[in-house]
Structure 1
Amino acid sequence: MPNRATLTLMAIALAYFSATFPALAHTGEGYGGGFVAGFTHPILGWDHVAAMVAVGLWGAFLGAPAIWILPVVFPLVMAFGAVAGIIGIPVPAIETGIALSAVVLGLMIVFALKPPIWMSAVIVGAFAIFHGYAHGTELPATVNPFAYAVGFVISTGLLHLAGIAFGLLIRWPAGRVAVRGAGGLIAFAGIAFLSGVA
Structure 2
Amino acid sequence: MKRRTLLLAALLLPAVAHAHPGHADAGLASGFMHPFSGLDHVVAMLAVGVWAARNAGMTRWLVPAAFLAGMVAGGVLGLGGFLPSFLESAVTASAFAAALLVLLAVRLPLGLQASVAAAFAIWHGIAHGAELPAAAAPLDFAVGFIAATGVLLALGLALGRMLQRGERDRWLGAGLTALAASLFWA
Structure 1 segment 50-129 matched on structure 2, within 5 A: 50-129=43-122
Larger radius of gyration: 1
1:61 Cα deviation from its structure 2 partner: 2.1
CA distance in 2, matches of 1:33, 1:123: 28
Cα distance change of structure 1 residues 104 and 189 upon mapping to structure 2, 3 Å threshold: same
C-alpha deviation, 1:102, in angstroms: 1.9
- Output one character per residue of 1:151-178: Cα deviation in whole Å (capped at 9) or x when no partner: 10000000001101111124422xxx32
Runs (5+) with no aligned partner, structure 2: 1-24
Q: Which residue of 2 aligns with 1:187?
A: 177
Aligned pairs for 1:171-182 (under 5 A) are 171-173=164-166, 177-182=167-172
RMSD: 1.7
Shift in Å, 1:66: 4.3
- Structure 2 CA distance for aligned equivalents of residues 83 and 76 of structure 1: 11
How many pairs were matched up?
162
SS in 2 for 1:115: coil
Does residue 35 in structure 1 map to residue 25 in structure 2? no
The correspondence of residues 160-179 of structure 1 with structure 2, limited to 5 A, is 160-173=153-166, 177-179=167-169
Would the aligned equivalents of 1:102 and 1:189 in 2 still touch at CA under 8 Å? Answer: no
| Secondary structure at 2:53 match in 1 | helix
Say which structure is richer in helix. Answer: 1
Contact 1:60–1:66 (8 Å) recurs in 2? no
Q: Percent identity?
A: 36
Map Cα deviations across residues 35-67 of structure 1 (whole Å, 9 max, x no partner).
012111111011111001111100002334541
| Cα deviation code 1:58-87 (max 9, x no counterpart) | 000233454100110111111110111112
Q: Tell me the amino acid that sits aligned with residue 131 of structure 1.
A: H
> What amino acid is aligned across from residue 179 of structure 1 in structure 2?
D
Distance 1:144 1:89 in 2: 19
TM-score (norm 2): 0.80
Q: Which moved more, 1:32-41 or 1:161-170?
A: 32-41
